[in-house]
Structure 1
């Protein structure tokens, strides 16, 4: 039985948004990741005919400025086998940095960033849910070895560009250069 699904759930009923909540209940997450950590934008990985989802975990904390949250770079990733909905790998980015020229343990900026600062909480949540639903579509297309339409890519890229924290972009690009080169465009 998959760790991220109940017995009644089929593979298709666990979506990306649920995955980002349910991962917190797994032994791997609880062992390595503080419960107050944020879970960043999923990164698909195709390897040896299988689809995996890499979830970057980042730090944040409230500041003395009302409405501002301090952001820290991803400090770890957890990789999920998408078909089994099970965590299969943990990677500590501070101990094994994929880019030693970057600082992985100091504050990098603030949330909300300019592109979302004027949105209401409801507007932000709606756009976030829409993007995560598009990740579901992406994973289905990747599992089926399908192709993305140009319209789909344009909408996904627009949402990702709007919601991606600019201060964290360089870290995402290090974690998955090909993916973000294709989908995180200006």
Structure 2
């Protein structure tokens, strides 16, 4: 079992899986995707607020225990970055941001080519990206430039599951275009 994340974003993602809301609405074999940041200036309380939209997607482990089939996101859960409080749950089977006809099949597999290798290497790359998320979210909260934008984009590009990228483009619009380039 891997060590728990040392980053605030990593801890928040782990805490999401423990929420009664998540346990009630997400199937057991659900993944929490890469966060899509959003900033409200001013928020309802007058200050800047930063939120994370978290795509929830299905997966099915391979019979040999190596990897998994990935399914399109079925929902998003938006949480407050500062508190982790759930702010919105959107069932994408209801909101239908893309064409849904019938039961969706697998759209790809994990791990993809860019992250094949040792589990230790993947976890280190994931922790590095989560640390960059912490930096970016702090910058958004404070209203200052994010100095590691290029490094963040390269790390996200490497770790983003290519089969889920079209869905992220719809869900994350400007964020995805800025850090992963146009479609």
TM-score by structure 2 length? Answer: 0.86
Cα distance, 1:48 vs structure 2: 4.4
**Which residue among 137, 156, 159 is the counterpart of 1:160?**
156
CA distance in 2, matches of 1:88, 1:14: 21
Unaligned runs of 5+ in 2: 1-5, 43-48
CA distance in 1, matches of 2:22, 2:65: 30
**Which residue among 111, 135, 138 is the counterpart of 1:137?**
135
Aligned to 2:29, the other structure's residue is in SS state coil
Unaligned runs of 5+ in 1: 1-12
Alignment match, 2:30: 37
Matches within 5 A, 1:82-97: 82-97=81-96
Matches within 5 A, 1:102-113: 105-113=104-112
Residues 7, 134 of structure 2: 8 Å contact kept? no
Cα distance, 1:99 vs structure 2: 2.2
Query: CA-atom RMSD, angstroms?
Result: 2.1
Alignment match, 1:16: 9
Cα distance, 1:71 vs structure 2: 0.6
TM-score by structure 1 length? Answer: 0.84
Alignment match, 2:54: 55
Cα distance, 1:104 vs structure 2: 8.0
Alignment match, 1:6: none
**Cα shift readout 1:12-66 (whole Å, capped 9, x = no counterpart):** x971100111112222212211233111100101134321111111111122466
Alignment match, 1:114: 113
